[in-house]
Amino acid sequence: MDPKHVEITLDDLNRTDNPALSSISFSFKTCRSQHNTNEIAMISCLVHNNVSQDGPTTIERQFQTFTFLRKLDAKPMPYDFEKQLRSRKDL
C-alpha cells in the first residue's frame, strides 16, 4: 500500500485509546548433528495478548507458553521423560 493513499478520518482522531497488541517471543535450542550441522532440538514460545501501545503494559500472569521438543536421531530421550511429563500438573 502506498502511504500517499492513507486517509485519516475523524473517528481516528477522536479515538482515545489504541487497541492492544499481541506479542510472541521465541527461544531456540540447537545441537550438533552427526553430520556436524546445527539442528533445532527445542523451540519455546511465550505469548502475551494484551500489550499496550500507549505506555507501559501492566504485568499480568496470563501469558501463554508452549514448547516443541523433538527427539534427535542419535540421542535417546531421558530415562523417565514420559513419566515426568505426565506428572506435570500444568499440562
Within 8 A by CB and 6+ apart from 79, the residues are none
What is the chain's pLDDT, residue by residue, as a tens digit (91 residues)? 788 888 878 777 777 777 888 999 999 999 888 888 888 889 999 999 888 887 888 777 778 888 888 877 777 777 787 788 788 766 5
The sign of the dihedral angle between the CA atoms of 34, 26, 68, 77 is positive
Rg of the Cα atoms in the chain: 22
- pTM over 0.95? The answer is no
Q: How far apart are CA 22 and CA 57, in angstroms?
A: 11
